[in-house]
C-alpha cells in the first residue's frame, strides 16, 4: 500500500516561497519532490529537479514557487495498493489523508523501486508453479511465438523447452487451436485431444485463453491436462457399476433364496426369493448380525459362524417358519490373500422342489396320456378317413399291415382291382417311422415304357432329346426317406425289372444318361392284381424280382368274399359324401339286400362310386332299388325270384306271403302298381285287390297277436 512508502513527513513550502528556498531546503535534505501546500496543508502543486531552468534558460532564484510548480499530480489515499498506483497516468502521486492533508509524495520511480522485489518474487513463484505443474502450459505472444513452455509441456510434446521458446507455435507442436484464440479472443474450455505416441494414445483435455492488455489480445495461453488415467478409471468405474448391476439382477432373479453376510457376520444383502421362503424381509435383517436370526429362533444354529470357522462350504436342512423344508448351503468367499470376506448362503425350498417334481411328473403323465389319446384319435381318424372294415378277413389283413409297417420289409399287396391295395399301402406308410416322409405312387402300367425309366430313375441334363437342361430327379429320389408304391408291378417291362432289382439290392440309382450313383433310402411297396407266380412261370416276370418283392405278401380278399364289410362300407361312404356334399341319403332294406347279394366285380371302388352317384344324382332321400343302376337291378331280379316262406304254415297263408313278397318287390323295383302288374303278368286291379287282401290278412294277424298277449 502507498502508506508503506511514507517514511518521513514530505518536504513542503508555500506558493509565495522562491526557487532559492527550494535549493536551501535541498541542502539540508536529499533532493526530492517538494510539495507546495496552502495554509491548511493541502497540496497545490509539486516542484522537482530541473526547476532552475525554463526552456533551457536559467530562471531567477527569486521566482515564486506558485509560478513554477507542476499541478499535474494525482492524489491517492494511503491504503491504495502500489500496483494500482503504478497504473495511474501521472509521474507524481500525492498521498493524502481523508481530510486532504498531504502525508507524503511518491514518484513512479519510488513505486518501481518498491514493486521490483515483489514482481521478482512473483516471477520466481510463477516459474516454480510452471515447473511443478503436471499440466502442460504453453503460451504464445500475439505473433504466435512461444513464450512459455513448461516441463509438462515438454513431456507431452516430446520437445525440449529451449527448442520451443522463440519458435512459431506450429513449428513445434501440432495445431491445437491456440492460434485461433489470438484471432477470436475467446476462451475455450474442455477440448478433448487424443495424441498418438509410439506406445499408445493418451487423452488430453485442453483449455485455451487469450492474454489481454488494454482490451487487446497480446497472446494466448493453453493448458493441457492428461486425463488418460482418469478416463481409464472412469471406464473401470463404469464397468464395475455395470457388473454390480448385473450381479444384483442375478441375485434377484435367482429362484433360490440368497443371503450374503460380511466376515463380521452382518447381513449385507438378501434377495426376494429369500424373503419368500423364510418370511424374513430385507429391511428387518440387512445391517444386522446373522446371529440375531438365530437368537430370534429363525435358525437352529448360525451357518455363517460355521462357514467362518470351517473355512469351507457347510450344508444343513432346516424347517422354515412357514413349515417348508429348506436346504441351506453356506459358501465362503475369499479375497486374494485367502481371507474369508463374505459368506453366501443359498436357500433351496425342497417342499417347492418336491411339489414341482410331482407336478412335472403329473404333467409328464398327462402329456403321455394326451399323446396316446391323440395318436389313438389320429389312428381312428385315419381309419375313419381312409379305411374301414369289420369283416374278420379284412381285419386280419389290416392287422398284418399295421405290424409290417413297423419294419422296412418290402410288401407285395395282391388283390383284384378296387379292393383297397393303395389304401392299405397308405396305411402301412402312415403307421411306419417314415410317416413324416413322402408317400409316392407310380402306376407302372399307365406310363409308356419309353418314359417309365426316366420317371423311375430321373435323368441327367442332355440325357436325350427334350430332356430338361438341369436334368430331373426320378420318383426314387423324390421318395427318399419315404415310401414308394409300385402299382400294377406286373405291368413293369422286363427291361426295367432288372434295373428295379438292382435298386432294391443296392439302394442306389443312376439317372438316365448319368454315371453318378445316388443313394436312396426308400421303402418299397408293390401292388398287383395279376398272378405274378404264373407270370414267372410264363417268363414275363423275373423270378429274382418276384422273390425280392414277395418278402411279405398280403392277399386282399375281394368284396364278395367278405360281405360283412358291405354295410359298414356303405355307411362309411354315405358319411364321406355327406361331409363332401352336405347331402344325406338312406338306403332301403331292399337296396341293402341287393348290395349284399351283388358280386361286386369292381370291389370297393364300385361300391363307393354307386354311393357317390346316388348321393349326387338322386333327389329322393331314401334310395330304393328303382334308383339303382341296371347291373344291380339284374341281381335284384335274380335274387327277388327267391321268394321264401319260413317254417311250415297253412298253405293259404304261405301263398299269401309269397304273393305279398312278389308284389312288394315288383313295386319297389318299378315304383307303380301298373308297372308291377305288367312285370307280374296280371292286371293292375288284381295287384290292388291282392294288396288289400294281404293288408287285411296282416291286420287280422296283428289283432290276434295282441289279444293273445292280453289273455296271457
Ligand X SMILES: Nc1ncnc2c1ncn2[C@@H]1O[C@H](COP(=O)(O)OP(=O)(O)OP(=O)(O)O)[C@@H](O)[C@H]1O
- Which residues of the shown chain bind ligand X in the complex (CB under 6 A)? 387-389, 415, 417-423, 487, 527, 529, 572, 604-605, 608
Minimum distance, C-beta of residue 391 to ligand X, in the bound complex (Å):
10
Asked if residues 632 and 596 have their Cβ atoms less than 8 Å apart, the reply is no
Smaller CB distance to ligand X: residue 420 or 458? 420
Residue 238: CB partners within 8 Å, gap ≥ 6? none
Minimum distance, C-beta of residue 592 to ligand X, in the bound complex (Å):
18
Smaller CB distance to ligand X: residue 346 or 528? 528
Helices assigned H by DSSP within 136-227:
151-157, 161-164, 169-172, 178-184
Grid coordinates in use for 532?
405274378
Residue nearest ligand X by beta-carbon distance: 420
Minimum distance, C-beta of residue 627 to ligand X, in the bound complex (Å):
21
Minimum distance, C-beta of residue 527 to ligand X, in the bound complex (Å):
6
Smaller CB distance to ligand X: residue 280 or 611? 611
Determine the Cα–Cα distance for residues 328 and 282; give it in Å rounded to an integer.
18
Smaller CB distance to ligand X: residue 486 or 594? 486
Smaller CB distance to ligand X: residue 204 or 572? 572
Minimum distance, C-beta of residue 418 to ligand X, in the bound complex (Å):
5
Residue 600: CB partners within 8 Å, gap ≥ 6? 558, 559, 560, 566, 606, 607
User: Cell 510452471 appears where?
Assistant: 130
Nearest residue to 273 (alpha-carbon basis) of 325, 349, 324: 349
Phi/psi class of residue 144: alpha, beta or left (left: φ > 0; alpha: ψ in -120 to 50)?
left
Radius of gyration of the chain (CA): 62
Grid coordinates in use for 220?
494466448
Q: What does DSSP assign to residue 225?
A: E
Grid coordinates in use for 711?
289273455
Minimum distance, C-beta of residue 426 to ligand X, in the bound complex (Å):
8
Helices (H) and strands (E) in the chain, counts: 28, 29
Minimum distance, C-beta of residue 462 to ligand X, in the bound complex (Å):
35
Smaller CB distance to ligand X: residue 422 or 657? 422
Main-chain phi, psi angles of 640, to 5 degrees: -70, -15
Smaller CB distance to ligand X: residue 332 or 418? 418
Determine the Cα–Cα distance for residues 83 and 333; give it in Å rounded to an integer.
67
Minimum distance, C-beta of residue 488 to ligand X, in the bound complex (Å):
7
Asked if residues 448 and 428 have their Cβ atoms less than 8 Å apart, the reply is no
Smaller CB distance to ligand X: residue 278 or 389? 389
Smaller CB distance to ligand X: residue 226 or 422? 422
Minimum distance, C-beta of residue 574 to ligand X, in the bound complex (Å):
12
Smaller CB distance to ligand X: residue 292 or 613? 613
Main-chain phi, psi angles of 550, to 5 degrees: -85, 30
Determine the Cα–Cα distance for residues 73 and 107; give it in Å rounded to an integer.
10
Minimum distance, C-beta of residue 549 to ligand X, in the bound complex (Å):
16
Determine the Cα–Cα distance for residues 347 and 598; give it in Å rounded to an integer.
80
Smaller CB distance to ligand X: residue 153 or 412? 412
Minimum distance, C-beta of residue 610 to ligand X, in the bound complex (Å):
12
Q: What does DSSP assign to residue 39?
A: T
Determine which helix (DSSP H) or strand (DSSP E) holds 203, and give its type and residue range: strand 200-213
SS3 293: helix
Phi/psi class of residue 149: alpha, beta or left (left: φ > 0; alpha: ψ in -120 to 50)?
beta
Amino acid at each position: 500500500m502507498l502508506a508503506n512508502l511514507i517514511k518521513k513527513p514530505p518536504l513542503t513550502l508555500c506558493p509565495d516561497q522562491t526557487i532559492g528556498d527550494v535549493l536551501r531546503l535541498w541542502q539540508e535534505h536529499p533532493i526530492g519532490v517538494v510539495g507546495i501546500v496552502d495554509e491548511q496543508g493541502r497540496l497545490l502543486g509539486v516542484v522537482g529537479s530541473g526547476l532552475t531552468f525554463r526552456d533551457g534558460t536559467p530562471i531567477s532564484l527569486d521566482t515564486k514557487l506558485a509560478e513554477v510548480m507542476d499541478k499535474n499530480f494525482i492524489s491517492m489515499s494511503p491504503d491504495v495498493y502500489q500496483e494500482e498506483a503504478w497504473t495511474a497516468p501521472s509521474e507524481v502521486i500525492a498521498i493524502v489523508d481523508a481530510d486532504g492533508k498531504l502525508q507524503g509524495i511518491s514518484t513512479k520511480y519510488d513505486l518501481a523501486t518498491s514493486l521490483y522485489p515483489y514482481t521478482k518474487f512473483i516471477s520466481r513463484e510463477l516459474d516454480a508453479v510452471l515447473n511443478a505443474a503436471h499440466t502442460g502450459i504453453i503460451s504464445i505472444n500475439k505473433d504466435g511465438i512461444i513464450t512459455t513452455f513448461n516441463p509438462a509441456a515438454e513431456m507431452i510434446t516430446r520437445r525440449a523447452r529451449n527448442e520451443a521458446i522463440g519458435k512459431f507455435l506450429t513449428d513445434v507442436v501440432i495445431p491445437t487451436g491456440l492460434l485461433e484464440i489470438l484471432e477470436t479472443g475467446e476462451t475455450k474450455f474442455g477440448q478433448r485431444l487424443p495424441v498418438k505416441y509410439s506406445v499408445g494414445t493418451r487423452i488430453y483435455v485442453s483449455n485455451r485463453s487469450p492474454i489481454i492488455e488494454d482490451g487487446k489480445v497480446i497472446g494466448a495461453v493453453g493448458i493441457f491436462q492428461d486425463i488418460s488415467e482418469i478416463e481409464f478409471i472412469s471406464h473401470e468405474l463404469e464397468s464395475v457399476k455395470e457388473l454390480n448391476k448385473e450381479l444384483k439382477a442375478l441375485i434377484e432373479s435367482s429362484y433360490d433364496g440368497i443371503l450374503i453376510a460380511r466376515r463380521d457376520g452382518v447381513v449385507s444383502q438378501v434377495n426376494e426369493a429369500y424373503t419368500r421362503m423364510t418370511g424374513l424381509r430385507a429391511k428387518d435383517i440387512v445391517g444386522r448380525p446373522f446371529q440375531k436370526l438365530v437368537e430370534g429362533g429363525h435358525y437352529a444354529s448360525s451357518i455363517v459362524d460355521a462357514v467362518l470357522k470351517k473355512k469351507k462350504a457347510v450344508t444343513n436342512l432346516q424347517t422354515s417358519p412357514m413349515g417348508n423344508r429348506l436346504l441351506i448351503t453356506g459358501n465362503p468367499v475369499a479375497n486374494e490373500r485367502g481371507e474369508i470376506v463374505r459368506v453366501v448362503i443359498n436357500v433351496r425350498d425342497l417342499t417347492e422342489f418336491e411339489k414341482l417334481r410331482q407336478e412335472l411328473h403329473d404333467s409328464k403323465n398327462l402329456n403321455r396320456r394326451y399323446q396316446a389319446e391323440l395318436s389313438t384319435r389320429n389312428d381312428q381318424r385315419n381309419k375313419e378317413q381312409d379305411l374301414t372294415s369289420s369283416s374278420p378277413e379284412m381285419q386280419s389283413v389290416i392287422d398284418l399291415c399295421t405290424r409290417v409297417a413297423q419294419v422296412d420289409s418290402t410288401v407285395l399287396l395282391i388283390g383284384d382291382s378296387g379292393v383297397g391295395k393303395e389304401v392299405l399301402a397308405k396305411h402301412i406308410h402312415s403307421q411306419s417311422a417314415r410317416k413324416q416322409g413322402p408317400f409316392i405312387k407310380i402306376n407302372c402300367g399307365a406310363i409308356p415304357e419309353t418314359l417309365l425309366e426316366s420317371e423311375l430313375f430321373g435323368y441327367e441334363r442332355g440325357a436325350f432329346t427334350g430332356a430338361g437342361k438341369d436334368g430331373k430327379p426320378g420318383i426314387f429320389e423324390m421318395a427318399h426317406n419315404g415310401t414308394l408304391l409300385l402299382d400294377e408291378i406286373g405291368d413293369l417291362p422286363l427291361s426295367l425289372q432288372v434295373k428295379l432289382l438292382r435298386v432294391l439290392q443296392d439302394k442306389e440309382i443312376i439317372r438316365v444318361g448319368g454315371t453318378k450313383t445316388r443313394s436312396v433310402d426308400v421303402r418299397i411297396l408293390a401292388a398287383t392284381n395279376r398272378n405274378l407266380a404264373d407270370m414267372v412261370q410264363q417268363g414275363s416276370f423275373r423270378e429274382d424280382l418276384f422273390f425280392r418283392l414277395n418278402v411279405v405278401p398280403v392277399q386282399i380278399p375281394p368284396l364278395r368274399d367278405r360281405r360283412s364289410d358291405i354295410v359298414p362300407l356303405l355307411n362309411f361312404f354315405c358319411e364321406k359324401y355327406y361331409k363332401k356334399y352336405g347331402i344325406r341319403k338312406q338306403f332301403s332294406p331292399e337296396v341293402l339286400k341287393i348290395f349284399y347279394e351283388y358280386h361286386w366285380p369292381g370291389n370297393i371302388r364300385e361300391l363307393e362310386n354307386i354311393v357317390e352317384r346316388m348321393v349326387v344324382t338322386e333327389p329322393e332321400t331314401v334310395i330304393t332299388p328303382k334308383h339303382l343302376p341296371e347291373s344291380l337291378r339284374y341281381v335284384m331280379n335274380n335274387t327277388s325270384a327267391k321268394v321264401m316262406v319260413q317254417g311250415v304254415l297253412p298253405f293259404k297263408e304261405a301263398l299269401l306271403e309269397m304273393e305279398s313278397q312278389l308284389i312288394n318287390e315288383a313295386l319297389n323295383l318299378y315304383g307303380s302298381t301298373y308297372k308291377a302288374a305288367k312285370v307280374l303278368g296280371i292286371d293292375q286291379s288284381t295287384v290292388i285287390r291282392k294288396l288289400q287282401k294281404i293288408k287285411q290278412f296282416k291286420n287280422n294277424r296283428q289283432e290276434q297277436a295282441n289279444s293273445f298277449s292280453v289273455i296271457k
